[in-house]
Amino acid sequence: MSPAPITPGLVRSLRIDFGMMRAIRESRPLWVAGTVLMAVVAVGGCSNSSGPETGDSAKKSAPPGFSGPEPSIPPLGTAAGGDPSKPVDFKGGGAVVRPDGSMTLPLDAYVSLKDESTIVRAENVLAQQCMQDKGLKLPDALTLDNGPEPPAPYVIYGVMDMKAVKVYGYREPSPEKEPASGRPADDGITPAVKRAYFDDPKSGRLGCEGKARRKLGGKNPETLFAIVQQLRSQTLNATFQDSRVVAAVSKWSACMKKSGYDYANPLAPAHDRSLLGKGLPVPKGATLPPPSPAEIAAAVTDVECKRKTQYVQTAALVSAAYERKVIEQRSTQLQDARRTQKRKVESAKEIIKAGA
């Protein structure tokens, strides 16, 4: 079986509820891992086609959103899978997968986490001033310390580090780490604060949060980070419909099935609550048992199958190819957004300085 096509709606930015994250910090699965603003890829169901395993990719059409044939990628040698006991260390075609689990793709050249943090800090200042005008205080729980960050590669492509899965299974590699703010979401967030701070999409009314974004961003409050994430969503959608990735997923699924694990795609195990913590009791205050030997065994097999089928390397190469295409298609938009971002960061620095 191959994964059903990922629709653009399944690749989107989500605000993570700090209260939920705090409650399950002892056993947090990968599908809730992330930061304040996180792109999450969800894959569900199976299609009837197993996808082509061989043949000339140039004869296959690119997925919707991209014209022409599927983009070419460098060939993967038989040794590209490597020793599954060692971290992935791969570079090619504009993709870099490092031993620490991080990954760099072409669109990353347009993202500056430092700039995003500066913008968020300025929005905090403006939101605080807005709340004060209403006779209210902005709770610490709504004051973000950092800007949005892209998700870790394992959130999108599944587990890939043997050392990590032998300890954490399908959980976030640092489950003891608190959310970015380190504060619970319900600390001081009264109904009055909610009404004043949050926007009301139904009526179009802006709260202090939205007013801060509008004041800083003017007619174009959308950040360069958000634009890049939208384009990344488009490329990920194409990546998981690309025949070469469909074939790699099919091979991974067949490999897992040989060991008794029936999953359609590499994100499915981390969503399987019958597997997570299998055989262990749920600790008080948690929503799941800790990683059990059964979960860890499945995760180990998962990583072994990814290395045998070169799934991560294939997905990274294909993702990079689509990102290069979208950069070419949207070069004017990206350059304009870069210039807007530069002006916004300079304004943000002045706001922070004045509010200090």
Residues 144-154, mean pLDDT to the nearest whole number: 79
Do the Cβ atoms of 214 and 221 come closer than 8 Å? yes
Q: What angle, rounded to 10 degrees, do the helices at 243-258 and 311-329 form?
A: 160
The pLDDT value recorded for residue 97 is 92
In 3D, which of 239, 228, 261, 211 has the Cα closest to residue 322? 239
Query: What DSSP string describes 119-156?
Result: HHHHHHHHHHHHHHHTT----GGGS-SS---PPPHHHH
Please give the average per-residue pLDDT across 287-310, as a whole number: 95
pLDDT, one tens digit per residue, over 306-335 is 999 999 999 999 999 999 999 999 999 999
Residue 187 has a pLDDT of 63
Q: What tokens were used for 171? A: 């959980």
Phi first, then psi: give them for residue 324, nearest 5 degrees.
-65, -40
309 class by beta-carbon count within 10 Å (0-12 exposed, 13-18 middle, 19+ buried): buried
Split at pLDDT 50, 70, 90, the class of 1 is very low
Lowest mean pLDDT of 35-44, 71-80, 162-171, name the range: 35-44
- Is 0.75 surpassed by the pTM of this model? yes
pLDDT-derived band at 177 (thresholds 50, 70, 90) equals: very low
State the pLDDT at residue 274: 95
Question: Which residues, other chains included, contact 191 with Cβ-Cβ below 8 Å and sequence gap of 6+?
Answer: none
Q: Whole-angstrom Cα distance, residue 95 to residue 317?
A: 6
Cα–Cα distance, 251 to 244 (Å, whole number) = 11
The percentage of the chain sitting over the pLDDT mark of 90, rounded to a whole number, equals 51
pLDDT score recorded for residue 71: 94
Label residue 135 exposed, middle or buried (CB < 10 Å: 0-12, 13-18, 19+). Answer: exposed
